[in-house]
């Protein structure tokens, strides 16, 4: 007996496509609310449910969503200082930590790889639950491992200093079609405040390449998404591309030299966003409507009736 094949009509296909776009572009921290609303709107709920796992997986990769993994030791920065141009950190072990999901640590079989513990795990992308951990020792580029470890330590110290809820990972990556190898820094910081009707998502990615023996190429981007929805619906999206070339001096200063560039670029981005926000508030928004009427005095709307009565009782000039 031939297997049954579900064929979507053009209308259903378009609706699923639109739903996928809405899920992929959900405001920070609100994908579950978007998903629940879409389930009520779509009649073909079974098809949507089948496809929802891939929708969530794509959203999680795109936004570097962190997932809590228990039972794996991770060194957590408990104290750090910036001394003589270098980040110095001190660590303790934690048995539960967050692994961020990125396009660079999703294996071909769909499992998520953690470069810290050299383990991989299955992930329920909707519930964000990790399970079935297993050793995965050969997923990194071996010749870059010492640099990856030193860079991860400097990135951890940087995140602990500047991001209250931050997570970051460093991955080694080899282009499949060429011999180009690079290190990838992925940083994310998300803060959800539903009681204040405010959610925010900071995300950055930097690729560190070695084009010459005495040169480092750092390319990437930084982006910020904010959603404010009290008595309105305002979303902010800002993104900046990064392209820097710095000298490669030695292995001892390599990690801190790279993190200094990351810090400089992210601080410049934050200053530019703050400046744009102030300019928008002072000029753009004010230009949309007149602050005061032509009389240059505000109207007390609660006294409008009194104004009208006074006008009617005022003696008319013959």
Tokens coding 295: 């009389």
pTM above 0.85, yes or no: no
Instruction: Judge whether 221 and 243 are in contact, CB under 8 Å.
Output: no
Dihedral angle computed from the Cα positions of residues 257, 262, 268 and 272, in that order, rounded to the nearest 10 degrees: 170
**Per-residue confidence (pLDDT) for residue 131, from 0 to 100:** 93
pLDDT at 100: 96
Q: How far apart are CA 57 and CA 64, in angstroms?
A: 11
Higher pLDDT: 74 or 145? It is 145
pLDDT averaged over every residue in the chain = 82
Asked whether the predicted pLDDT for residue 287 surpasses 90, the reply is no
The pLDDT, as a whole number, for residue 23 is 85
Q: What is the pLDDT of residue 309?
A: 58
- Of the candidates 118, 12, 129, 133, the one whose C-alpha atom is nearest the C-alpha of residue 74 is 118
Q: What's the pLDDT at 290? A: 59
Residues 6+ apart with CB under 8 A from 13: none
> Could you tell me the domains of the chain?
10-60 (no CATH), 66-283 (3.90.1150.210)
Residue whose C-alpha is closest to residue 258's, from 184, 166, 172, 202 = 184
pLDDT surpassing 90 at residue 247: yes
Q: pLDDT digits over 40-50, tens only? A: 877 656 777 77
Residue 124 pLDDT: 94
Residue whose tokens read 């820097």 = 244
pLDDT at residue 304 tops 90: no
**69, two tokens:** 């993994």
pLDDT top residue among 308 and 242: 242
Confidence of residue 14 (pLDDT cuts 50, 70, 90): confident
Kindly report, residue by residue over 87-126, the tens digit of the pLDDT.
Answer: 454 444 444 578 999 999 999 999 999 999 999 999 999 9
Helical axes 45-62 vs 31-41, angle rounded to 10°: 160
Are 177 and 110 in contact, with CB atoms under 8 Å apart?
no
């Amino acid at each position: 007996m031939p297997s049954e094949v579900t064929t979507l009509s053009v209308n259903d296909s378009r609706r699923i496509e639109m739903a996928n776009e809405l899920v992929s572009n959900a405001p920070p921290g609100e994908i579950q609310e978007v998903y629940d609303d879409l389930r009520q709107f779509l009649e073909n709920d079974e098809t949507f449910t089948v496809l929802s796992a891939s929708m969530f997986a794509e959203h999680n990769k795109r936004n570097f969503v962190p997932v809590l993994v228990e039972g794996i030791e991770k060194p957590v920065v408990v104290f750090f200082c910036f001394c003589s141009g270098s980040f110095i950190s001190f660590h303790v072990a934690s048995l539960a930590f967050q692994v961020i999901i990125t396009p660079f640590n999703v294996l071909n079989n769909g499992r998520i790889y953690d470069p810290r513990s050299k383990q991989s795990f299955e992930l329920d992308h909707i519930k964000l639950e990790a399970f079935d951990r297993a050793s995965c020792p050969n997923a990194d580029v071996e010749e870059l491992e010492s640099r990856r470890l030193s860079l991860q330590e400097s990135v951890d110290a940087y995140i602990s200093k500047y991001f209250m809820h931050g997570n970051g990972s460093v991955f080694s990556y080899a282009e499949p079609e060429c011999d180009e190898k690079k290190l990838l820094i992925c940083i994310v910081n998300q803060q959800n405040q539903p009681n204040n009707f405010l959610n925010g998502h900071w995300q950055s990615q930097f690729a560190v390449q070695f084009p010459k023996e005495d040169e480092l190429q750092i390319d990437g981007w930084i982006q910020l998404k904010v959603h404010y929805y009290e008595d309105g619906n305002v979303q902010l999206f800002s993104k900046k591309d990064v392209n820097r070339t710095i000298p490669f001096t030695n292995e001892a200063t390599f990690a801190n030299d790279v993190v200094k560039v990351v810090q400089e670029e992210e601080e410049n981005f934050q200053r530019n966003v703050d400046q744009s926000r102030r300019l928008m508030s002072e000029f753009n928004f004010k230009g949309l409507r007149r602050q005061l009427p032509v009389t240059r005095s505000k109207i007390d709307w609660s006294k409008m009736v009194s104004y009208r009565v006074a006008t009617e009782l005022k003696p008319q000039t013959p």
